[in-house]
Amino acid sequence: MRFRGKQLIPTSAVAAGTGLLLLLWLTYGNVAKKASARSDDVLAVLQKEMGVGKPLFLSPELLEALPGKSSPLAPSKGDAEKASLNPSFFHALNREKQISIVLLSRAGGSTPLGEALLTSPRWIFTDVTPWGYRFEPASVPSPAPWSLPPQEALLAQHPDSKERTSWLVGTAENLIVIGSTREAEQLLAMAALTKKLPSQVLGAQASLKASRGEWSDALTLAKEAIAKDSTNDAAREIMIRALTESGRPDESLDEARKLVKRHKNTKTLFLLARAANAANSENEEIVALQGLVELGRKNNQPLGASLTYLGQALAKNGQRGAALRAFREALDSPELSEDQRQMIRQLADHITPDQPQK
């Protein structure tokens, strides 16, 4: 989903790469803890939607939750993966299937499609929960767009205070991802009143502050969340970002190194790369980005943005040949728009022929 708050994007040492850095933040930069929606809750939602008896689209992660992992009403795994990365393919699929409901998880692989639907006049964003997002066609009569439910309704729907807190936090985090920060703030205020799951609540509040570029407050809240629960790595990730954005790159890099040692994944490698960039540790940035690309390739994740970021780091370090190879591979990534491809071509063109190769 799309971060609408531009403050989330740090100032890059290579200004021309801001557009693709944005895509990387979309995929890996959302460090708020993912909602712990139970698999049976997701399954109940899917079964309810399937009961409508009309074609629907599920992102690959939700498709995996279906019993038997297939249904004549849902897309094939291949179509789900391709459409999540390529909105044009989704629209072609919709013309064929006449899709009545779209359900997307929060996973980064669905970012291109989620962003396209959020900005399309032909689709209405009708629901958000800890497991993800729901869209319906803007038909006649048009479905009602999602709005914040009354507090009384949420209390009735989630009478258990701990379960309600978890739901509020997970939904708020998903709202932060798509830029609905005012509604997210209201849900988090309700969550704080329960006095349950304090570390999760503080971590989500830190994420909200980060989404607004309020890095000092984000850092304070993240540290408070960690103090409540030292295993809250989501809050630790926000702390690393906040240290980077607050002009404390050495501290950020040190914390990022520790986190990667404990949990080496695409998200922590991305944070390490950003911290290394801020601390002018070029070789460490390149190694982290190479690891990011390797893991992304292994997990079938979109590679265009991470390859472009790697190409920029390699070019900055004088490795012209390797940088051009990264840019060329990035151009083959299906999730990128034509504007983004043009930007990559411009980045490649700016590598001067007499730049020394390593």
pLDDT digit string (tens) for 153-186?
A: 999 999 999 999 999 999 999 999 999 999 999 9
* Residue 346 vs residue 300, higher pLDDT: 346
Mean pLDDT of 311-323: 96
* pLDDT the model gives residue 39: 54
Strand 123-129 and strand 132-137: pairing? antiparallel
Q: What angle do CA 354, 274, 350 make, to 5 degrees?
A: 20
CB 125 within 8 A of CB 137: no
* pLDDT the model gives residue 8: 26
| Domain 1-30+251-358 identical in fold to domain 148-246 | yes
Task: Check pLDDT > 50 for residue 215.
Answer: yes
Mean pLDDT of 61-75: 80
Give residue 266's identity as a one-letter amino acid code: T
* Distance (Å, whole) CA 326 – CA 304: 9
Q: Which two tokens mark 89?
A: 């393919």
Q: How confident is the model at residue 256 (pLDDT cuts 50, 70, 90)?
A: very high
Please enumerate in sequence order all residues whose Cβ is within 8 A of that of 48, keeping only pairs 6 or more positions apart, or say none.
none
Choose among 19, 96, 99, 119: nearest CA to 59: 99
Local structure of 355: helix, strand or coil: coil
* pLDDT the model gives residue 265: 93
* pLDDT the model gives residue 238: 97
Class of domain 148-246: mainly alpha
pLDDT digit string (tens) for 4-25?
A: 332 222 233 333 344 555 455 5
Task: Check pLDDT > 90 for residue 336.
Answer: no
Mean pLDDT of 21-34: 50
pLDDT digit string (tens) for 95-108?
A: 999 999 999 998 76
Please state, for a pLDDT cut of 90, what percent of the chain lies above it.
Answer: 70
Per-domain residue ranges for the chain?
Answer: 1-30+251-358, 39-137, 148-246
Looking at domain 1-30+251-358, does it have CATH number 3.40.640.10? Answer: no
* Distance (Å, whole) CA 24 – CA 31: 12
pLDDT digit string (tens) for 77-88?
A: 999 999 998 899
Distance of CA 235 to the CA centre of its chain: 16
Q: How confident is the model at residue 51 (pLDDT cuts 50, 70, 90)?
A: confident
* pLDDT the model gives residue 52: 74
Task: Check pLDDT > 70 for residue 26.
Answer: no
Q: How confident is the model at residue 273 (pLDDT cuts 50, 70, 90)?
A: very high
Q: Which two tokens mark 214?
A: 């309020």
- Beta-bridged to residue 56, according to DSSP, are 101
Q: How confident is the model at residue 259 (pLDDT cuts 50, 70, 90)?
A: very high
* Distance (Å, whole) CA 342 – CA 76: 32
The per-residue pLDDT of the chain, averaged, comes to 87
* pLDDT the model gives residue 106: 80
Instruction: Give the length of the chain.
Output: 358
* Distance (Å, whole) CA 137 – CA 102: 9
* pLDDT the model gives residue 32: 40
Q: How confident is the model at residue 122 (pLDDT cuts 50, 70, 90)?
A: very high
Local structure of 126: helix, strand or coil: strand
* pLDDT the model gives residue 20: 56
* Residue 51 vs residue 253, higher pLDDT: 253
Q: Which two tokens mark 299?
A: 């997990």
Task: Check pLDDT > 80 for residue 37.
Answer: no
* pLDDT the model gives residue 23: 53
* Distance (Å, whole) CA 231 – CA 179: 27
* Residue 37 vs residue 165, higher pLDDT: 165
